[in-house]
Amino acid sequence: MNLSLNDYLEELRPLINVDCGTYTVDGIAFIANEMAAKYAAMNGWSIKQVDCGKAGIGLEVRNKPDAEDIDVLLLGHMDTVFPVGTAAERPMTTDATKAYGPGVSDMKSGLLNVVYALRHIDQSVLDELSICVCMNPDEETGSLYSVDWIQATAKQAKHVLVAEAARADGGLVKARKGMARYKMTFKGKAAHAGNEPEKGRSAITEMANWILATNAMTNFESGTTLNVGVVAGGAGANIVPDLATAIVDVRFWDNSEYDHVDTALNGMTQTPFVDGVSIELTREAYKPSMVPTEQTQALMTLVEESAQELAIKINWKEAGGGSDANNTAILGVPTLDGLGPIGAGFHSADEYLLLESIEPRIQLLMRVLTKLAENKNQARN
């Protein structure tokens, strides 16, 4: 494959220069239509739109839609974290070494790398493997409206490769922390703080007790951390507050330890610290942790061999942030992440894509798919 970098960047540009933050459904639809057109131009691919509710549409693309099993599921997301107006404010630009713009590495270039890999791979690989590409519209907010579809598809898959960006030093991701986010709403009773404070029930006092109890659940040794990151409440210093809210971020390596945290938090709603205050606990986001299994180790070895053959330096990372890899790994399906080109500065105005990494990472993806096809053929014969 001889990549024309200019052609690649011109194909990438329209994917960057449109607002497609999560729930910006018109922008998501534009990306979906762009991606669908690319696969439609590559004969032999079945393209299906998936209704993801208020998040918009997802795309499922398969070369063998009637196959019972999926040999390789390739995952990516179409949304970004950026608000409407960002694309006009800072459209895609390039310099001698990098491309910049909202979503340039997280993860429009990953989506495009998958297209390039499947465009240029040998037909014999496509004949051998059942491949499915899923592109969802809401990964950046936890895949709330697409997780059921992603997991139902992954249950048919033998391997999952997620095309999120490789890390700045070329690292791929073998493990990711799980995450959960809760909103806590405390409802008390207002009263005048000077005339009759005893008639009030302070929602803020209840929240303060919860913050201390929540902090106490953190276990740095095991990697389970709880962070009360946002709080609000009260209408004036002379009023016993009747409403307060807090938002808590939970990160963890051990899924069973998280289950204990979840049980503890829900149990606390039944025993308020302040009599007369009620607590509503809502889990707004959740992704289980992604931890390598023995089968994942075999897939890692295959990726390492592929990289060595191409003289590409890679290493393995354990990441604190989540992705859709978390949602497939929990099913026991061998899952690796970071198969896209190298980037950094995700979720910021400094986000960039390293231009020299584009072609090698396309080649790496092609080599991994080719090896999986060879292994399948050998196992059959």
Please, what sign has the CA dihedral across residues 140, 135, 7, 303? positive
Give CA–CA dist 54/79, Å, rounded.
13
List Cβ neighbours of 66 (8 Å cut-off, separation of 6 or more): none
**Which pLDDT value is given to residue 381?**
79
List Cβ neighbours of 284 (8 Å cut-off, separation of 6 or more): 142, 181, 182, 183, 247
Give CA–CA dist 363/292, Å, rounded.
24
List Cβ neighbours of 308 (8 Å cut-off, separation of 6 or more): none
**Which pLDDT value is given to residue 322?**
82
**Which pLDDT value is given to residue 175?**
94
- Dump the DSSP string for 146-212: THHHHHHHHTTBS-EEE-PPBPTTS-EEEEE-EEEEEEEEEE-B-EETTT-GGG-B-HHHHHHHHHH
φ/ψ of 51, rounded to 5, equals -75, 115
Give CA–CA dist 355/365, Å, rounded.
16
**Which pLDDT value is given to residue 319?**
86
**Which pLDDT value is given to residue 380?**
83
Beta carbons of 31 and 18 less than 8 angstroms apart: yes
DSSP letter (8 states) at residue 273:
S
* Beta-strand pair 72-77/131-136: parallel
**Which pLDDT value is given to residue 243?**
98
Give CA–CA dist 164/339, Å, rounded.
6
Residues of the chain where predicted confidence (pLDDT) is lower than 50:
none
What pLDDT, in 10s, does the model give residues 250-302? 999 999 999 999 999 999 999 999 999 999 999 998 999 999 999 999 999 99
**pTM of the predicted model, to two decimals?**
0.89
Give CA–CA dist 299/375, Å, rounded.
11
Alpha carbon separation from 11 to 4, 7, 17, 115, 362 (Å, rounded): 11, 6, 11, 11, 15
**Which residues in 240-277 are b (16+ Cβ under 10 Å) and which e?**
bbbbbbbbbebbbbbeebbeebbeebeebeeebbbeeb
**Which pLDDT value is given to residue 147?**
96
Query: How many C-beta neighbours within 10 Å does residue 185 have?
Result: 16
**Which pLDDT value is given to residue 321?**
77
